[in-house]
Amino acid sequence: MKDILAVVGFPKATYMYWQKRFDRENPDKYLEDEITKIHNENKDYGYRRVYRELRNRNFL
């Protein structure tokens, strides 16, 4: 791995940081899922309407 990182010019510390970060679960997954659900139900909603809908559904 060290050789590959050297060839592409990617620091090992950065690689290790991102590897650790991707191993853990997203703490906001429930919120992300609800935003996706709102978007699928209302394709023309912008961020203000999505935010308002999240508040109406007691997610915020």
Q: How far is CA 33 from CA 14, 19, 28, 50, in A?
A: 29, 23, 9, 12
Give the separation between CA 10 and CA 14, rounded to whole angstroms: 7
57 pLDDT tier (thresholds 50, 70, 90): very high
Predicted pLDDT of residue 38: 98
Give the separation between CA 2 and CA 17, rounded to whole angstroms: 15
pLDDT digits (tens, 9 = 90+) for 16-40: 998 888 888 889 999 999 999 999 9
